[in-house]
Amino acid sequence: MTYEAPVDDIMLALKTAVGLDDLIARGIYDGLDEDTVKAVIEEAGKFGAEVLDPLNWPGDRAGSKLKDGRVETPPGWTDAYRRFADGGWSALPCPEEFGGQGLPGVLSMAAFEIWSASNMSFGLCPLLTQGAIDALHTDGSDELKATYLPKMISGEWTGTMNLTEPQAGSDLGAIRTKAVKQADGTYRIFGTKIFITYGDHEMTDNIVHLVLARLPDAPAGTRGISLFVVPKRLVEADGSLGARNDVVCAGLEHKLGIHASPTCVMKFGEGDGAIGYLVGQENRGLNTMFIMMNAARLAVGIQGVAVAERATQRAVAYARDRRQGRTASSKAGEMGPIIEHADIRRTILTMKALTQAARAICLVTAREIDISHRAGEAGERKAAADKAALLTPIAKAFSTDIGCEVASMGVQIHGGMGFVEETGAAQYYRDARILPIYEGTNGIQAIDLVARKLPLENGAVVKAYIGEITATAAEVKASNRPEFGRMGVRMEEAVAALGEATKFMGRALATNPEAALVGATPYLRLFGLAAGQHYLAKAALAASREGADGAGPVALARFFAENLLVAAPGLAVTVTEGGEAILGFEPQRIGA
Amino acid sequence: MTYEAPVDDIMLALKTAVGLDDLIARGIYDGLDEDTVKAVIEEAGKFGAEVLDPLNWPGDRAGSKLKDGRVETPPGWTDAYRRFADGGWSALPCPEEFGGQGLPGVLSMAAFEIWSASNMSFGLCPLLTQGAIDALHTDGSDELKATYLPKMISGEWTGTMNLTEPQAGSDLGAIRTKAVKQADGTYRIFGTKIFITYGDHEMTDNIVHLVLARLPDAPAGTRGISLFVVPKRLVEADGSLGARNDVVCAGLEHKLGIHASPTCVMKFGEGDGAIGYLVGQENRGLNTMFIMMNAARLAVGIQGVAVAERATQRAVAYARDRRQGRTASSKAGEMGPIIEHADIRRTILTMKALTQAARAICLVTAREIDISHRAGEAGERKAAADKAALLTPIAKAFSTDIGCEVASMGVQIHGGMGFVEETGAAQYYRDARILPIYEGTNGIQAIDLVARKLPLENGAVVKAYIGEITATAAEVKASNRPEFGRMGVRMEEAVAALGEATKFMGRALATNPEAALVGATPYLRLFGLAAGQHYLAKAALAASREGADGAGPVALARFFAENLLVAAPGLAVTVTEGGEAILGFEPQRIGA
């Protein structure tokens, strides 16, 4: 079945969770209005459905291949990329002074959901390019910006992030790639990077690698890492392309999923050294890279939403079509569509509700990033930056966890056909599995949430956020509408559970950090459920005010509260009580 | 890393959950003792580790192929199968009068875990053969038994189960394959079956297909289905092999996992009709097939345990080896093994605890089946059969759900390497995904549990089982041992939750069955958690009596209670309260 962009669901999240009216009223974007937002999403939806979606399954079958040192993307890829760039899609959220369209990040993220849902492998190329653009724009010199940004924003060149090395995955402090300063102010780069997405391809004339490396006299660990631009082809003073730089793709990984996206082993400096240009200051590269990584983390969260959406669409279509057993609507002796079976309905509602909850969390995070860049007042910018910082690990980890879960449910809905590759459901299950891993594993996200984000402003940031959810819970309860079922009660319980777990974390961080870290993953899940409910409930309240019946957003929010949010109290027990048994288990005896 | 059979964990489950001493004391198996049991498991472990495990990854790469109408299994398969048969492994639980070893089913299931863990694709062949043996032994005529059983038990021939057709998956009533009676008492079979595991191969001279088909005058639905033996090659009166029967493999599925196991489209009667022999009575085939399917369902549950065990072993080995970041044991400036990180420890303990819990549930189910066949008193046999009936859907669905979950955690532990196929973790993730689907989807299992098993003996069967858990919870609480942490409290809560949900189900079944069915899946999960805890707690109590410290079985049971069982009260709320929102959602508006 064909992908159809979930324009209504995205608009619902934008209007109720993000508060689109408020965002527009702030006037931080010239001429932005709801019609423009919707039109952009609809156009993106067309491009995704018509151009990217038809390439998704053939791309999975063909995969990217390394031939004679060059990466060949699947048939149709180069043309689709050209149309993507020509359509201005690569320029969407980019600064206008370098040719970008300057649209809100929140809108760009909505479009990115569509690219990823229709073709996750394809969508990774603009994702990485955008990260590289952000890094250069934030910390690059004027000369670097002028040389690279216009071509990257127009889509003429793509970008990459070169962080991981075999011994340095989650621990970037262990990076060994070497950078040696030259008399002319450039650097020579030597080293091997792995897991480099779109590290090579021939869709564009040039590729702009951003590379983490270490100067010979750099301090050990993360404080001795510098960031460099290393173009695949050198750029002449007049902007034309010169010689090949000393960087090659030495291999492609054979992966579980995203087969069409080339995951490269990159060798820098097999000869005299790859020529690189410093971004920002020496030994401060990780700071810049973190800007890039935070944006990328949110985008990966959106990929989780995307794969969940795509898996749900396919499952719903199948469940409407496939007939097995008797159902309410089936005539005597005939079989009814499986979507009428109670257990299938539960599964599909679970998929829908988790997807919409994660979508809202991600789009709200994007909104806060927008405000943090554009609001007039410094205090407002700071508050938004803090909230975005708090929500980013949740947006990444919760959304990608549910992406895997929903993709798995999608396979299940198809029964035996789900296990047959040609059906397509299995591809989402395979593709989704990378999401909890890359851009910082979800374990790292949970640790980031607990150890770095909860202490922000002495706990005031998380406290304010929990206050938001508490207010929504109170509103749900006060509304006293029968179609809300027990949503108010379940929200109150969940808020209490989140509050208790958060207090526990605060105490543990101060006295015994291991006791906090050991509960980080269930804590993040608890947070994600509560935040997701918060936004679904806001949509339900808005729909209810407009006189909606008990279906649609109201039923979805109620379903989430009574079926999924109910896990919250148990998760709080896990956080506050469950760690002792783990920490008491000697690591070397685990699994013995 | 090489697979190592978890002999200690299996023996622990046998001794504490299954009650091996009691089983031996019953004297229903000649000469059975603990040493024999352990020796068989150790020998099976050797065969799995030395013969099957080395073929697992190459088998996944090579896959089975259809060439000129014949199925070629991967290199090494035929030899391994021959060694398997020669070792007497195919005869393990089979009746002695036909050449079997007559060992307990519970021991056979322990061995089957080992075949499946070392090579799930290989293990499927004996699984299906065993099902066919059971069906023939139960309902076949003396002539059919004499002709087929000795060769199947010796491993000279293999067996298959031919149920599914394109329009008849979960709903077997929709089967269209036709059987026409001949003057000589045989039947001619015409039709197409799909998803037939090892439907063709050349490892043995003959394959014995058990086929569901419908007589021309049969009643509609499930009451008009008959079961036939259809050998690939006809068997002459002297037992020698005659002509090819009119049955061919017309295609192989291209699947997400278990690539080495051929999943065949089988065509019966493309010519004059495949010659078939009736098993049992006309129109009563489904009864026999259910005997086969129940045994197969338990075996699939064991496959869930197996893939979880294998994924855990690989993850533990990686986590001990891989170094990232600073840990308690790492020297200044060095990285420590990731198994020392708190979040990784939580993940590995989750994997271990879920695996051992599911293993115990499956082995207890096997024990009850053994008693139901062999106990002297009819009342005892009936009670055991009822308990096995109650536990079978839980053994199947809970174990396979956690199989997928644990395999996914195994990928996650490996970080980026987990997504690279050569690492091996991804294969388990792919292979595991079939388990919640075949032999009745887990949704069907949940419905079976709620609609057919809870009402057994007017609810007395489930009540007695919950009573068992209650007693264990009380014993844990009364023991008052500090190393048990809050296990007693959490068990009491869980038992209360299970009791409440069970009562709700009883009422709903009587008044509004949809309200029961819609909660069947979370109810099964709740039941699985409580049952799993029950057995882990029994192991902890036993270890504690023997003076064990707070590691090993004690810590695992405590971990499970405080970290996983705590989901029970929330699941009970889902069951009792969550259905209304689902049933109120019109099916055609779900996903609209």
φ, ψ of residue A265 in degrees (nearest 5): -90, 120
Q: Is B54 helix (H, G, I), strand (E, B) or coil?
A: helix
> Which pair of structure tokens corresponds to residue A226?
């510098």
Q: Is A492 a catalytic residue?
A: no
- How many alpha carbons lie under 13 Å from residue B512 in its C-beta half-sphere? 9
Q: Which of A174, A421, A568 has the CB atom closest to B335's CB atom?
A: A174
pLDDT digits (tens, 9 = 90+) for A17-68: 999 999 999 999 888 999 999 999 999 999 999 999 999 999 999 999 999 9
B309-325 as b/e: b if 16+ CB within 10 A: bbbbbbbbbbbbebbbb
**Shortest CA distance to A53 belongs to which of A107, A111, A122, A6?**
A122
Model-wide pTM > 0.90: yes
> Which pair of structure tokens corresponds to residue A241?
């392309």
* pLDDT at A147 (0 to 100): 97
Give dist(CA A174, CA A179) in Å, integer: 15
Give dist(CA A350, CA A308) in Å, integer: 11
Does residue A215 form part of some domain? no
Contacts of A220 in chain B (CB under 8 A): 333
The string of DSSP letters for B238-268 reads: TS-EEEEPSEEEEEE--BSS-TTS-EEEEEE
- The 10 Å Cβ neighbour count of residue A512 is 13
Catalytic site residue from B113, B309, B439, B493: B439
Name which of A303, A402, A582 to mutate to probe chain B: the one with the most chain B Cβ atoms within 10 A of its Cβ: A582
Give dist(CA B502, CA B453) in Å, integer: 11
A474-487 as b/e: b if 16+ CB within 10 A: eebeebebebbbbb
Give dist(CA A578, CA B490) in Å, integer: 11
Name which of B408, B431, B563 to mutate to probe chain A: the one with the most chain A Cβ atoms within 10 A of its Cβ: B563
The alpha carbon of residue A152 is apart from the nearest alpha carbon of chain B, in Å, by 27
Contacts of A582 in chain B (CB under 8 A): 342, 345-346, 349, 559, 563
Q: Is B235 helix (H, G, I), strand (E, B) or coil?
A: strand
| Angle B443-A490-A483 from CA coordinates, rounded to 5° | 80
- How many alpha carbons lie under 13 Å from residue A270 in its C-beta half-sphere? 11
Give dist(CA B175, CA B163) in Å, integer: 8
Does residue B268 form part of some domain? no
Q: In angstroms, what is the C-alpha Rg of chain B?
A: 24
* pLDDT at B130 (0 to 100): 94
Contact predicate A197/A262, CB 8 Å: yes
Contact A559 B585 (CB under 8 A): yes
Q: Which of A170, A441, A586 has the CB atom closest to B551's CB atom?
A: A586
Does residue A555 form part of some domain? yes
Q: Is A211 helix (H, G, I), strand (E, B) or coil?
A: strand
Q: Which of B256, B415, B577 has the CB atom closest to A170's CB atom?
A: B415
- The 10 Å Cβ neighbour count of residue B61 is 13
> Which pair of structure tokens corresponds to residue B76?
């090494």
Count up the domains in chain B and report the number. 1
Q: Residue A592: is its pLDDT beyond 60?
A: no
Contact A581 B485 (CB under 8 A): yes
> Which pair of structure tokens corresponds to residue B304?
């869930």
Task: Please report the number of interchain residue pairs, chain A to chain B, with beta-carbon separation below 8 angstroms.
Answer: 278
Contact predicate A156/A85, CB 8 Å: yes
Q: Which of B312, B341, B517 has the CB atom closest to A342's CB atom?
A: B517
Give dist(CA A461, CA A386) in Å, integer: 7
Tokens 């979508």 appear where? A359
Name which of B509, B573, B574, B576 to mutate to probe chain A: the one with the most chain A Cβ atoms within 10 A of its Cβ: B573
Q: What is the rounded end-to-end Cα distance, in angstroms, of chain B?
A: 47
Contacts of B312 in chain A (CB under 8 A): 591
Contact predicate B342/A582, CB 8 Å: yes
Give dist(CA A386, CA A294) in Å, integer: 13
Tokens 């000279």 appear where? B156
The alpha carbon of residue A500 is apart from the nearest alpha carbon of chain B, in Å, by 16
B355 vs A291 pLDDT, higher one? B355
Give dist(CA B189, CA B274) in Å, integer: 5
Give dist(CA A75, CA A245) in Å, integer: 27
**DSSP-derived secondary structure letter, A17:** I
Does residue A503 form part of some domain? yes
pLDDT band at A295 (very low <50, low <70, confident <90, very high): confident
Contact A582 B346 (CB under 8 A): yes
**Shortest CA distance to B523 belongs to which of B448, B437, B589, B412?**
B448
- Pairing, β A206-213 against β A178-181: unpaired
Contact predicate B397/A343, CB 8 Å: no
Q: Residue A591: is its pLDDT beyond 80?
A: no
Contacts of A337 in chain B (CB under 8 A): 587
Question: B275: left (phi > 0), else alpha (psi -120 to 50), else beta?
Answer: beta
Contact predicate B184/B234, CB 8 Å: no
Catalytic site residue from A72, A165, A368, A439: A439
When pLDDT is averaged across residues A317-337 and rounded to a whole number, the result is 91
Give the domain extent around A576: 455-586
Give dist(CA B589, CA B592) in Å, integer: 5
The set of residues, in sequence order, having a beta carbon less than 8 Å from that of B350 and lying 6+ positions away, is B406, B409, B563, B564
Q: Residue A272: is its pLDDT beyond 80?
A: yes
Does residue B201 form part of some domain? no
Does residue B546 form part of some domain? yes
The string of DSSP letters for B420-465 reads: BGGGSHHHHHHHHTTTTTSSS-HHHHHHIIIIIITTGGGGHHHHHH
Q: Is A439 helix (H, G, I), strand (E, B) or coil?
A: coil
Give dist(CA B61, CA B257) in Å, integer: 10
Burial of B260: CB neighbours in 10 Å, binned 0-12, 13-18, 19+: buried
3-state DSSP helix/strand/coil % of chain A, to nearest 5? 60, 15, 25
- The 10 Å Cβ neighbour count of residue A12 is 24
pLDDT, block means (10 residues), chain B with 592 residues:
94 97 92 94 98 98 96 98 96 92 94 98 96 94 97 97 94 95 98 98 97 96 96 96 98 98 98 97 93 89 98 97 91 91 97 98 97 95 98 98 98 98 98 97 98 98 98 96 96 98 98 97 98 98 86 93 98 97 82 58
What are residue A255's DSSP bridge partners?
B420
A20-31 as b/e: b if 16+ CB within 10 A: beebbebebbee
Contact B411 A586 (CB under 8 A): no
* pLDDT at A551 (0 to 100): 73
pLDDT digits (tens, 9 = 90+) for A507-550: 999 999 999 999 999 999 999 999 999 999 999 999 999 887 76
φ, ψ of residue A214 in degrees (nearest 5): -120, 130
Does residue B441 form part of some domain? no
φ, ψ of residue B157 in degrees (nearest 5): -120, 155
Contact A570 B566 (CB under 8 A): yes
Contacts of B494 in chain A (CB under 8 A): none
**Rounded mean pLDDT of chain A?**
96
Contact predicate A282/A376, CB 8 Å: no
Give dist(CA A463, CA B427) in Å, integer: 43
Q: Is B558 helix (H, G, I), strand (E, B) or coil?
A: helix
Cα maximum dimension of chain A: 87
Contact predicate A456/A462, CB 8 Å: yes
Contact B256 A164 (CB under 8 A): no
**DSSP-derived secondary structure letter, A241:** E
Distances (CA, A) of A23 to A111, A255, A292, B164: 18, 41, 24, 55
Contact predicate B552/B16, CB 8 Å: no
Q: Which of A170, A434, A551 has the CB atom closest to B589's CB atom?
A: A551
Does residue B563 form part of some domain? yes
Give dist(CA A381, CA A388) in Å, integer: 10
Length of chain A measured in residues: 592
Lowest-confidence region among A204-218, A407-421, B327-341, B354-368: B327-341
* pLDDT at B592 (0 to 100): 55
Detail the DSSP E strand segments found in A146-300.
157-162, 178-181, 187-197, 206-213, 226-231, 233-235, 241-244, 247-252, 263-268, 274-279
Contacts of A577 in chain B (CB under 8 A): 485-486, 562, 566
Among chain A residues, the shortest Cα distance to B7 is held by A592
Contact B443 A347 (CB under 8 A): yes
